Amino acid sequence: MTLKARLLAIVAALAASACATGGPGQGTVIDRWAAVRAPAAPPLEAVTVDPKTTCLLVLDMQNNLTDPAAHPNAHAAIARIEVLLKEARSSRMLVVYSNTKVGTPADIVSELAPLPGEPVVRSSVDKFYRTDLERILLDSGIKTVIVTGTAANGAVMYTATGAAMRGLKVVVPVDAMPADSLYAEQYVAWHLLNSPGTRTAATLTRSDLITF
């Protein structure tokens, strides 16, 4: 191999290494994990909704997913979602529930149990997937959804994204979107305000900042 060929090979190897590590001295996100700093907490906005065009979504609040020992954050959120649920019903707002793929309406915690006639859909994390949710919302003239339930990094994030991609406004009370870790809740809050799928549609709030 000529000297020129060797130099070209060295340059190519260095370029490949730089691409693989994100640039000289940079490394991948895994390499730099400990150096990542969380962004500043986003502001929570007071929200007023029109009950005629708003739907409260109560996602996957099942007994097995809100057990106080296994899922303390979800268990703690029951009372806050219950307050929203009572206000929504008193305002004659549409309420739609979801179960996991293997859940049933009977599995929903008693404090939040659906009333006769309140729709319940069943799917994986995206509650629009292979369900009647989109039709239910369209038929009711819904323009805004309030997304509550568990888990923040599961049903809440994916269903909120699905709603935003269908042109709906998305309101998420951060104290009513529990996950098993605060990191997951923090990430989802950031994701909803920054991802291309939701950033123009999502509003973060708190359950006591929502007016019907």
Statement to judge: residues 23 and 55 lie in one domain: no
Total number of domains in the chain: 2
| CATH assignment of the domain containing 83 | 3.40.50.850
Quick one: 25 and 65 in the same domain? no
Are 73 and 174 spatial neighbours (Cβ–Cβ below 8 Å)?
no
Q: What is the pLDDT of residues 31-58, one digit of tens each?
A: 999 999 999 999 999 999 999 999 999 9
Reported pTM? 0.87
How many C-beta atoms surround the C-beta of residue 190 within 10 A? 15
Report the pLDDT value the prediction gives residue 10, as an integer from 0 to 100. Answer: 41
For residues 35 and 20, give the distance between their C-alpha atoms in angstroms, rounded to a whole number.
19
Q: Tokens at residue 89, please?
A: 């019903």
Please check whether residues 19 and 60 belong to one and the same domain: no
Residue 13 clears pLDDT 60, i.e. is over it: no
Confidence class for position 100, pLDDT limits 50, 70, 90: very high
* 42 found inside a domain: no
Buried b (16+ CB within 10 A) or exposed e, 66-96: beeeebebbbebbebbbebbebbeeeebbbb
pLDDT one-digit tens code per residue, 73-83:
999 999 999 99
In a domain, 68, yes or no: yes
85 and 28 within one domain: no
Say if 114 falls within a structural domain: yes
State the Cα–Cα distance between residues 74 and 108, nearest whole angstrom: 12
Give the integer Cα–Cα distance in Å for 12 and 25: 17
d(CA 193, CA 205): 12
Residues 200, 112, single domain; the answer is yes
Kindly state whether residues 51 and 123 are assigned to the same domain.
yes
Query: Which pair of tokens denotes residue 33?
Result: 């994990």
Per-residue model confidence as pLDDT tens digits over 154-203: 999 999 999 999 999 999 999 999 999 999 999 999 999 999 999 999 99
In order, the DSSP letters of 121-133 are EE-SS-TTTTSSH
- Domain membership flag for residue 40: no
Helix 182-194, helix 157-165: angle, nearest 10: 10
Q: Are residues 93 and 133 in the same domain?
A: yes
Same domain, 26 and 100: no
Residue 104 structural domain: 47-211
pLDDT band at 25 (very low <50, low <70, confident <90, very high): low
